[in-house]
Amino acid sequence: MDAIMVEWLEEHRRKRANSDQDDGNQDFMDVMLSILDGTQLAGFDSDTIIKATTWILMGGSIDTTSGTLIWILSCMLNNTGTIEQAQKELNIYVGKDRLVNETDISKLVYIQAIVKETLRLHPTAIFSGPREFADDCFVNGYHIPKGTQLIINLWKIHTDPSIRSDPLEFKPERFLTTHKDVDVRGNHFELIPFGSGIRMCPGLSFALPMIHLTLATFLQSFEISKPSDEPIDMTEIFGLTTMKATPLDVLIKPRLSSRLYGLS
């Protein structure tokens, strides 16, 4: 991984050296180079900092994004009406003559609701990252001493029956009706899969567009079904991220013209 990062870093340096001005296509590594190149921070040289930060962002997004997509498909295959509804929405707003793109996502409100409902039931991590109280304070009459560490049970909040009906049921429609104004960006404390506040997940702005576009593309491109009539096993493995205990098997069949798959 270090060798790959070194190669990327040198490639970006060559690009900067051969460019007289910003062409508007800077990526994360370009920005890091413009800020840190040639400096030291906490005893580490700029190359080490840039490589480590880039790898942390990439590594943190791989299993979390793929795991969330697996949970989404698992929930949908156990509730096949959601597949039909999502594909109907795609037919209306995108059609079958071109592939869905990022500009279409704002119109695909049902697909957005599916993602919210899955993140509610199967947040990437059941518990938030630890927080520490900076001062003595009182919460609901309880004295919390300075230095106390707090870990929040996100799943418990998301499935609180006093907030929503049928909290353990997969119902994306709730985010089109009773909870249509609730988002996952830390503004509504009843749904905080990415956390909230200044220490919420920094990958949120990457994760949501990636999940929405990948899911929409997959549902537009393929008819999906289960290999058998048995319900999908939803058993979880508890760890740093929440993953399915058993692999997900899905049958797929093309639903678009062959030219859209890059076939002649």
pLDDT of amino acid 20: 60
- In CATH terms, the superfamily for domain 2-261 is Cytochrome P450 (1.10.630.10)
Question: What number is the average pLDDT over the span 219-230?
Answer: 96
Alpha helices (H) along the chain: 2-17, 28-36, 46-77, 80-93, 109-121, 154-158, 204-221
Question: Which among 113, 188, 107 has a CA at the least distance from the CA of 154?
Answer: 188
Q: How confident is the model at residue 206 (pLDDT cuts 50, 70, 90)?
A: confident
What does the radius of gyration of the chain's CA atoms come to, in whole angstroms?
22
Q: Is the pLDDT of residue 22 over 70?
A: no
pLDDT of amino acid 67: 92
Whole-number percent of the chain with pLDDT over 70: 98
User: How many residues in the chain?
Assistant: 264
pLDDT of amino acid 129: 83
Question: Which among 37, 60, 62, 61 has a CA at the least distance from the CA of 48?
Answer: 37
**H or E element in which residue 222 lies:** strand 222-225
pLDDT of amino acid 109: 98
pTM of the predicted model as reported, rounded to 2 decimal places: 0.84
pLDDT of amino acid 58: 80
Q: How confident is the model at residue 21 (pLDDT cuts 50, 70, 90)?
A: low
The pLDDT tens digits of the residues spanning 107-126 come to 999 999 999 999 999 998 89
pLDDT of amino acid 264: 58
pLDDT of amino acid 262: 83
pLDDT of amino acid 38: 80
